[in-house]
Amino acid sequence: MRAGGNGYGTAPSARVLGEPASPSRPAGSAGKRPPRHATPKACLRPDAGASLPPGSGAALICGIEVRRLQTHSPRHAASPVWTPAGASETSPIWGVARRAGRTQDLGGRGVDAGSAAKATGRGALAPLANPTFRSFWLATLASSFGGLIQAVGAAWTMTSISGSADMVALVQASTTLPIMLFSLASGAIADTFNRRSVMLAAQFGMLAVSVALALAAYWDLLTPWLLLGFTFLIGCGVALNNPSWQASIGEIVPREDLPAAVALNSVGFNLSRSVGPAIGGAIVAAAGAAAAFAVNALSYLAIIAALLRWRTVPGSGRLPPESLGAAMGAGLRYVAMSPHLARVLLRAFLFGLSTIAVLALLPLVARNLVDGGALTYGLLLGAFGLGAVGGAFAAARLRAWLSSEALVRLAFAAFAVCAAVAGVSTSALLTAAALALGGASWVLALSLFNVTVQLSTPRWVVGRSLSLYQTAVFGGMALGSWLWGLVAEGHGSEVALLAAAAAMLAGGLVGLAVPLPSRTELDLTPLDRWREPPLPPDLRPRSGPVAIEIEYRIREADLPAFLDVMIDRQRIRRRDGARHWTLLRDLEDAELWTESYQTATWVEYVRHNLRTTMADAEIGERLRALHVGTELPRVRRRIVRQIRWLHTEPPPPGAYDLH
């Protein structure tokens, strides 16, 4: 089969399963499908056929021997899943695929992240048994200590060189703003380049900036805007590092350990938060801000050493990497076409926007409301960190008891209590208790958002999805730091914190209209059934655009079901890179329907098909069940011709290339 084999833009037709598929397999291959007529819709029930001998664990369904599989969740115990006895381990049959002894429902259904963790029976510390993860966790813990010591030094230095409340709040904003601005590009870099190299570049960059900041503080050269500039550059390093690191977690630990690994990252950061700020306050009080900045510079060496020891496995992708612009566009498109991810990003933005008020205004709370100094500020941050550690350890149990939406609403409400108490309390002890509650709420919500994004995203775009999640969270934080700083400047920190508490309650109520997805455990491994047709001599990988047409024959009675499936089909096509998607009905043959779409180049067409996941396979199965006849839907691949080549001579090689 050769696309565009005649040199004039049309290709011989091919017959595939509702999608450009692999060439015909040899007779008797393990993955060969039964004929179309052997699987009518009436046969899609376990009770539709005669039983085989007792104890065989199999049955006859419409003449096909099937085996009963163990279901992967207790909720499926009353609904047995069946698969043909000759099916391969990865072939989706009627919307169900069996992989490695486990059955996964492919209809977009799954279980909460917390329920999945509970079902596996693995402990919260299981990822630490992995030596690579353990090495990174310890190194990140040391680096987090340094980062929080630096944060205390920067915030307290700003209170010394500027009495403006909004300038104090901008210290927090200058750290989070780069993540909002550059996180998407960083996510595209994480999905395109070697993640270890990206993280090393980020760590060395932050080391250099931290050394320069320490020297400027030591020589008494810091001004408010220079301090903000240094913290902004450190934030740029964080923005570059974070998508690569978070995307790497899924490669270091098994998928079932991912929720625990994300929670352990929160535990590590908040362990350092519980002690680091107090140490930072003591260092600033005893030796000045320059010493705090120097300690932070030294802390980068631990994670640099861990990265230098880590040996990654080279990627096996056979396609050239996407350009940065194309990769960023693909990430935006994927999230926009994934309603569940869009909901998570909106709720994460609202959480960051409202809750950052407490951390951004905490230096003013320590100085003005509880009448303390740098040490008091560090101790209050430590209380927040201790609460976050407790929240991280309680996260798995709470996720097992509560739905994702209920847990996020609880976090919003608890943080509102924290902000209100911090705004009215003059007792350092009471404020510390409220901050502990806020810290627990903080880690519960953010770890849930993070895990939901990772479990809802295939590996090819996980870095970009995480970067957009970070853009939402830290964009909300940056905007909130500036907004609540302005309110505090005009009306006082007490009013600002009470207003933020009201905003948090409103953020929880948004869940009534935009609830979080409750089921996120999808099988996002590549379907890996599509095989690239050979290119004819006059076409090259960059030739395009490529136009695809897939023909279906649909009975009039099945039209509502067919059009319903096509809604999902359109979303998935566009999400994975297709453009100009249309659905056509033949005016002379009412049963003939044509799905049409384009890709920019042949490479993008290949990339589009390789992005199909096991969770997407149900769409093809549903279309095949609706398709009439014994033949599979017919696919035609064409090259869109440029008008200047409309003549009798075949075009020269490369004539269709996009430059």
Is residue 114 predicted with pLDDT exceeding 90?
no
Q: Are 406 and 484 in contact (CB under 8 A)?
A: no
Is residue 141 predicted with pLDDT exceeding 80?
yes
Is residue 138 predicted with pLDDT exceeding 50?
yes
Is residue 276 predicted with pLDDT exceeding 90?
no
**65 strand-pairing partners:** 60
Q: What is the mean pLDDT of residues 76-100?
A: 33
Sequence-separated (6 or more) residues with CB below 8 Å from residue 107: 95, 618
pLDDT level of residue 604 (50, 70, 90 thresholds): confident
pTM for the whole thing?
Answer: 0.67
Q: Give the side-chain half-sphere CA count within 13 A for 213.
A: 33
What span, in angstroms and rounded, lies between the C-alpha atoms of 348 and 446? 7
Share of the chain above pLDDT 70, in %: 76
Is residue 504 predicted with pLDDT exceeding 90?
yes
Helix/strand number for the chain, H first, E second: 17, 10
Coil vs helix vs strand at 580: strand
At 325 the pLDDT is: 83
At 317 the pLDDT is: 58
Q: Are 47 and 82 in contact (CB under 8 A)?
A: no
Q: What is the mean pLDDT of residues 331-340?
A: 87
Q: What is the CA radius of gyration of the chain?
A: 28
Is residue 145 predicted with pLDDT exceeding 60?
yes
What span, in angstroms and rounded, lies between the C-alpha atoms of 103 and 81? 8
Q: What is the mean pLDDT of residues 202-228?
A: 92
Q: Which of 121-130, 261-270, 494-503 has the least mean pLDDT?
A: 121-130
pLDDT level of residue 374 (50, 70, 90 thresholds): confident
pLDDT level of residue 430 (50, 70, 90 thresholds): very high
Backbone angles phi, psi at 635, to 5 degrees: -115, 135
Residue identified by tokens 């299981």 is 126
Q: Which of 361, 393, 366 is CA-nearest to residue 380?
A: 366
Q: What is the mean pLDDT of residues 258-263?
A: 78
Q: Which of 235, 263, 240, 219 is CA-nearest to residue 150?
A: 235
Q: What is the mean pLDDT of residues 449-471?
A: 86
Higher pLDDT, residue 464 or 517: 464
pLDDT tens for residues 55-77? 433 333 333 333 333 333 333 33
Longest distance between any two alpha carbons in the chain, whole Å: 89
The DSSP H or E segment spanning 440 is helix 428-455
> CB under 8 Å, gap of 24 or more: what pairs does 619-623 form?
619/18, 619/565, 619/568, 619/569, 619/572, 620/17, 620/18, 620/19, 620/92, 621/92, 621/93, 621/94, 621/95, 621/106, 622/95, 622/561, 622/565, 623/18, 623/552, 623/562, 623/565, 623/569
Is residue 7 predicted with pLDDT exceeding 90?
no
Mean pLDDT value across the chain = 76
Q: What is the mean pLDDT of residues 176-201?
A: 86
At 497 the pLDDT is: 94
pLDDT level of residue 321 (50, 70, 90 thresholds): confident
What span, in angstroms and rounded, lies between the C-alpha atoms of 512 and 5? 55
At 64 the pLDDT is: 32
pLDDT tens for residues 547-594? 999 999 999 999 999 999 999 999 999 988 899 999 999 999 999 999
Is residue 447 predicted with pLDDT exceeding 50?
yes
pLDDT tens for residues 384-415? 888 888 887 787 788 778 888 999 999 999 99
At 460 the pLDDT is: 83
Going from the N-terminus, what domains does the chain have, and what CATH number goes with each? 14-19+529-645 (3.30.70.100), 36-110 (no CATH), 126-311+324-512 (1.20.1250.20)
Is residue 355 predicted with pLDDT exceeding 90?
yes
Is residue 4 predicted with pLDDT exceeding 80?
no
Q: Are 398 and 444 in contact (CB under 8 A)?
A: yes
At 179 the pLDDT is: 78
CA distances to 351, 466, 471, 576 from 332, rounded to whole Å, are 21, 11, 12, 11
Residue 250, both tokens: 């899924």
Q: What is the mean pLDDT of residues 267-274?
A: 74
